[in-house]
Amino acid sequence: MDEIDLHIIEKLTNDARLSFRKIAEELKISPDTVINRYRKLQKKGVVRGSTVVINPKKVGYHCMAAFLVDASSMHILGNETNPVDSSLILHKLISMPNIILATKTVGDHDLLAIGVARDFEHLIHMTSEISRIPGVKDIQVSFWVEKSSLCPKYFIV
């Protein structure tokens, strides 16, 4: 990455819809160069995607929470006992509606998910949905009361 890449990244972090033409004008390079640089950054995985940042409260979603999940060491299904694959839990988590981030973790818990809910009842419903995923042993919820504003450079919370 050089100065040009960093400039493109900075501009698009603040406004992902900024036209490549405008960025090119600022840098006094051709729009094609900007497009090629952006594609390269995507290909290298520096830029993982782009998104709109919505204020959940404005569309009726008043709760956000972190779900701290512990996996059991064995998963019993009928007479069969299988080792738990936490990757399966991870993919189940991220395919749930309103879970916007999920990751395996090392340390206090096995997996972590961040979710958006309409109200407390909805949050409880989500918690029980997660607890029903095969291999989930325990789940603890950290219900966010007040959160810092975040320029979502890496995450979209």
Q: Which whole-number Å values give the CA distances from 157 to 14, 60, 93, 112, in the listed order?
A: 15, 16, 17, 14
Task: Report 13-42 residues binding another protein (CB under 8 A).
Answer: 13-17
Among 76, 105, 124, 131, binds another protein (CB under 8 A): 105
Output 72 or 109, the one with its CB closest to another protein: 109
Output 53 or 76, the one with its CB closest to another protein: 53
Output 77 or 106, the one with its CB closest to another protein: 106
Among 24, 34, 90, 126, binds another protein (CB under 8 A): 90
Rule CB under 8 A: is residue 77 a binding residue for another protein?
Answer: no
| HEC readout, 28-40 | CCCHHHHHHHHHH
How far apart, in Å, do the first and last CA atoms of the chain sit?
Answer: 27
Burial of 28 (0-12, 13-18, 19+ CB in 10 A): exposed
| Smallest separation (angstroms) from another protein to the CB of 4 | 15
